Amino acid sequence: MTAIEAMRSRRSIRAYTPQPVGRSIIQEIVDCARLAPTAMNEQPWEFVVLTERTALASIPPLLGHAEFIANAAFCILVLARPSTCAVEDCCAATQNLLLAAHAHGLGACWVAGAPQPYAAVVAAAFGAPPTHTLVSIVAIGHPAESPSVEKRPLADVLHWEKF
């Protein structure tokens, strides 16, 4: 799968099979995230991987939604150390997580962290220092669905020289 194919075919997956994902694949997915572009090479990201069923099941009640996280093979908390462009950098890392998971044939769904009111609660629940901000939660597993969504046509979003 080329990078272009991955970007064109990736969809948010919220239903997973019970099949586990090997540790080496999880590490490779996180490794791809740490290679994301970053302002001034600050690399503010930290990644917490959750694989235990009890940990995964504890997240949706903290959020008040995203029940699918409990059924994922694992999820990754993307946290940002304070830096100039922490949110932007960690969003780039999150996109790399999504694409790397897709390249491995896995499904993933990005759940917002900051500025949601639950962000600090989730971060603290998994031991993050109070200086760190939860930017995203990414649930990942073997897909049990194949959603088809319509994207806005290029002609509707592309502007040349002015809006």
With pLDDT > 90 as the criterion, what percentage of the chain qualifies? 99
Q: Please state the rounded mean pLDDT for residues 116-130.
A: 97
pLDDT value of position 88: 97
Instruction: Provide mean pLDDT across the span 86-97.
Output: 98
Buried b or exposed e, range 29-67, using 16+ CB within 10 angstroms: bbebbeebebeeeebbbbbbbbeeeebbebbbeebeebe
Rounded CA-CA distance 117/128 in Å is 16
Q: Give every strand in the sheet of 107-112, ordered side by side.
A: 45-50, 74-80, 133-141, 107-112
40, 151, 135, 150: which is closest to 95 by C-alpha? 135
Residue 1 token pair: 């799968």
Domain range list for the chain? 3-145
Residue 51 to residue 28: CA distance in whole angstroms: 15
| Residue located via tokens 């998971």 | 101
pTM, two decimals, is: 0.95
Chain center to CA of 109: 6
* 19-38 pLDDT, tens digit each: 999 999 999 999 999 999 99
Sign of CA dihedral 26, 58, 87, 48: negative
Average model confidence (pLDDT) across the chain? 97
What are 36-85's pLDDT values in tens digits? 999 999 999 999 999 999 999 999 999 999 999 999 999 999 999 999 99
Q: What confidence score (pLDDT) does residue 1 get?
A: 86
Instruction: Please give the pLDDT value at position 20.
Output: 97
Q: What angle do CA 135, 140, 141 make, to 5 degrees?
A: 175
Class of the domain covering 3-145: alpha beta
